[in-house]
Structure 1
């Protein structure tokens, strides 16, 4: 058995793989594969309806919010958000906490004026800025809740006088949130939701239709709301697998139970990083991510040897992002606590090996 610590695409439950593989051959006894089923069929319409209902239920999404199933990943949302939420000449406020936040800022600047209220760049994004002012005359305030590369996470919604927009791609469905505190949430699916190809947008309807802009219909949230996410052919298989994964999450006990498990996984691994003299975690203690545990070695020359041992023990995808090096253990929802225990055992085994 491989223990997948990859940062994305995500690990999924084994039962989801099994159900999805069966649907590839014969979807719901239709005699057709889920890969060829019409997105206009009543069978797939039922999938979309259930997927939306599961998200609405698991996250307690208010009735005045729409849930959209789009494509283009979070990168497309970097442009769609400012296009749909700002008037010409209206500025936007952004918090820079890492590579993805920085990319969002760059894209937004192609649409309008951006004020970066604070940035963690000077400390290599090892902590999340705490002191900053959000202007009350900007259209919205944007932040990224979890930073996969640097291993930091923002757990509390910033106190903002303007609508809050959050890129929640890598920690959505991992912990409780109050959707009503946000104007818009977007998330690429390939972390905790399902396979790549699907992007979820949850948006307060009151924010839409106020820009005075004429947008290409494909980039207009209202087009997708009106068409019930069927404005163009949706990513059918990705939505279906997301539905299976959401069913699995509900059967586990929902967000409350998965948050408890995620806390236990992160605590176990961070305790070993702090205890083991060979390893260290660069992120500030209060900002440590539960989803992506970034760590390095006190002696970088030992990194390849440790990675080889981990690979030998079937621990895969632990290598850190190319921009920061070291290691990264992604602890997404479907990763069991037993995989974290095995990683800790290997860290301790390597410690004993180095001592000899």
Structure 2
């Protein structure tokens, strides 16, 4: 299925050369933002945020304003027709009539892809549940480009909720495309990295190991990517509390790290990084948030300038087959085509919206 508009749903829909181009443009904007103050004069960006956000929403809005454009949208679906039961299709179909680019965040996996099927402008995925967060990945790549001077040959530790952490899923997929990167997953068994992400890492020629304690891992890392245990992804408060304080980065653990290691975090943090770590020169998470604005400026410019078609669905519909993931958008918006990528013998299917696998 083709869309006449260029979308960013998953970074892996684009070649690495495209990512590099966006990141390099972000660095150029960072070094001389005044040169880009009017490139989006007369353009409008709509932001549809179905769940809370501070950095992603405000950095997108600030990015468009700094480029000379204007913004519309909502940050609380209760204040829109969504509260009356309006579908993603209808909301995005209407709002896309008013905008040149649409940015959507949604708590359900695959929602951004669903929006791209029918929107009458470009769609950018600002996070879909625990699935993907491609613009955070671009933020992370720009941070590494500026602070580590490379995107290759790094040992990256990812710590915390790796099961529900869309930021680490997207970043793993991206960094495994660059040569000689190694991954260290630091998590409990219950919150470990999903199998499909591990398979992608191996398929791309990268390696990973899994370690249960931060102390055992931190000394071998070039980058430590901390994540919070996400209360909103748990079925009950009791399940959340059982995992909440498992991994906490403090000054004592930082003494075990290399002098050149940097600490990243997509924010917000809760208790997983103590305030005392903020004063360590290796703490990059506040700079990282600022870099996000510049790379989103670069992304908006690129999407609006290129105006390429997007292939939104590439798979096949199998009669009577539905995605088995209850958190997939296809199980919430029934009108959506149930499209799957299939193995050669069509016994293993992968949902095109949420990447959930299913044997038939």
TM range (shorter): 0.3 to 0.5
Higher RCO (CA 8 Å, separation ≥ 6 residues)? 1
Larger radius of gyration: 1
The TM-score normalised by the length of structure 1 is: 0.32
